[in-house]
Amino acid sequence: MKEYLLLLPIIFIFHDMEEIIGFGWFFRRNPELFRRHPRLTATYRGFTNEGFAAAVYEEFIPFFGVTLLAYYFPGRVLYALWFGMMLSLTGHFIAHIGICAYVGKFIPSLITSLICLPVSAVILVKTSALMTFDALTVSLNVMAVLAMMLNMKLAHGVMHLCNRRFGSGTEE
């Protein structure tokens, strides 16, 4: 199990670098998306690279923290939390691919989602073979996925706070 643990933060950073580099450029060149898909783009009004980078950093903390704890203190509970986080990251890739299909155009994050989705799926399959799935493990998996969904909300809050602080972001 230990050989797979560090792949979670590495895959996360690999994917999110594409987002950090590409989203500002993408929103400046596609302002019509704010009108065509207001619910989908509401999170990105006033977008700044600084705000987005701060959100990515905030999201990275639990991924890296749980990974380090599981690496140095191996055990069933931390492995289950790590597995749930890997599930949530894999779901994140699926969501990006779906959003790209929904808006009908390339979005930053598509390339690394297409690369990371099969890699993450293989990691999930290989690590699931090393785990025992009982009520506790499954509960911890679900808790980790839900925690990462809530953390995404927190990350968006951090992004909006930084966007207001740094200003002059992407407008409609």
pLDDT of residue 44: 87
pLDDT value at 101 more than 60: yes
127-149 tens-digit pLDDT = 999 998 999 999 999 999 999 99
Cα(7)–Cα(11) distance, rounded to whole angstroms? 6
CB 55, CB 4: distance < 8 Å: no
Cα(16)–Cα(89) distance, rounded to whole angstroms? 11
CB 77, CB 1: distance < 8 Å: no
In which band, very low, low, confident or very high, does the pLDDT at 172 lie, cut at 50, 70 and 90?
very low
Cα(13)–Cα(105) distance, rounded to whole angstroms? 23
Beta bridge partners of 170: 47
Query: Stretch 80-84: mean pLDDT, rounded?
Result: 97
CB 149, CB 88: distance < 8 Å: yes
111-123 tens-digit pLDDT = 999 999 999 999 9
Query: Stretch 43-51: mean pLDDT, rounded?
Result: 88
